[in-house]
Amino acid sequence: MLPLLGTGCDGPLSSLDPASPQASAVADLWWIMLVGSGLVFLLVMTLLTLAFTSARRYLRRPHAIYILGGGLVFPATVLSVLLAYALFTGERLLADPARPAALRVQAMAAQWQWTFRYASGIEMSDRLVLPAGQPVDIAISSQDVIHSFWIPRLGGKIDALPGRIHVMRIISEQVGTYAGACAEFCGLNHAGMYFTVEVVPLAEFETVLRQAMDETRSN
């Protein structure tokens, strides 16, 4: 189904094996939240365990410490910091309007394949070729039901909706082959709606693109 992909041990669709600045930012966010959550979880579980031992007499503090301190101030502080960091990360992931895209590719979803159209008129199914290091805008839409465009190692997903066009900015810095998938349930063959993304050096981009189209045709 999928051609051989050069991947780490995590698997070709792993968001924990990021290959772009955007995907790395989100993976970092995940690891930070994991550590933070682990600490909060330990805190609650420690209090809970101590409550069942005689050590609970050391924990007997005025009710306000628990309800206002634990229930209100503690989460409000932690969550404000998290929200600020998340908004900051979110802004970084957005397309920088000052830097125009080098390329715009139309991604049209249909049950159950992706069609990628380039400005040069080249059109391919389930196979996307991108130049490395260049900002590319993918204009995503659907012909029928809702699908979702997702290349986990390069960034997050966005839905492909009929009647709407969503633009996603991708900058893939590492040359290589990546896997993409449809993430929104779209009917019988949803499980088979994968595609591949080949990121090639800018100099070879046009050549590889033409080759790829010829291969697709001969198939």
Q: Which is nearer to another protein, 89 or 122 (CB)?
A: 89
Q: Which is nearer to another protein, 94 or 203 (CB)?
A: 94
Among residues 155, 196, 200, 209, the one that binds another protein under rule CB under 8 A: 155
Return the bridge partners of 89, or none.
Answer: none
Task: Look up residue 32 and give its two tokens.
Answer: 């930070």
Q: For another protein, what does the binding mask look like between residues 56 and 75, x meaning CB under 8 A?
A: x--xx--x--xx-xxxx-xx
Residue 217 touches another protein, criterion: CB under 8 A: no
Residue 178 touches another protein, criterion: CB under 8 A: no
On whether the CB atoms of residues 179 and 199 are closer than 8 A, the answer is no
Q: Residue ranges of the alpha helices (H) in the chain?
A: 21-51, 63-64, 74-93, 205-218
Residue 148 touches another protein, criterion: CB under 8 A: yes
Q: Which is nearer to another protein, 90 or 201 (CB)?
A: 90
Among residues 6, 97, 121, 163, the one that binds another protein under rule CB under 8 A: 163
* Pairwise CA distance, residues 142 & 184, whole Å: 12
Q: Which is nearer to another protein, 8 or 201 (CB)?
A: 8
Residue 96 touches another protein, criterion: CB under 8 A: no
Residue 131 touches another protein, criterion: CB under 8 A: no
Q: Which is nearer to another protein, 50 or 122 (CB)?
A: 50
Among residues 16, 102, 110, 208, the one that binds another protein under rule CB under 8 A: 16
Query: Of the candidates 146, 143, 142, which has an alpha carbon nearest to the alpha carbon of residue 185?
Result: 146
Return the bridge partners of 138, or none.
Answer: 105, 168
Neighbours of 193 (CB within 10 A): 22
Among residues 52, 98, 203, 219, the one that binds another protein under rule CB under 8 A: 52
Residue 158 touches another protein, criterion: CB under 8 A: yes
Q: Are strands 157-160 and 147-150 parallel, antiparallel or unpaired?
A: antiparallel
Residue 172's contacts (CB-CB under 8 Å, 6 or more residues apart) are: 19, 20, 130, 132, 133, 136, 154, 178, 197, 199
On whether the CB atoms of residues 167 and 155 are closer than 8 A, the answer is no
Among residues 21, 50, 118, 216, the one that binds another protein under rule CB under 8 A: 50
Residue 127 touches another protein, criterion: CB under 8 A: no
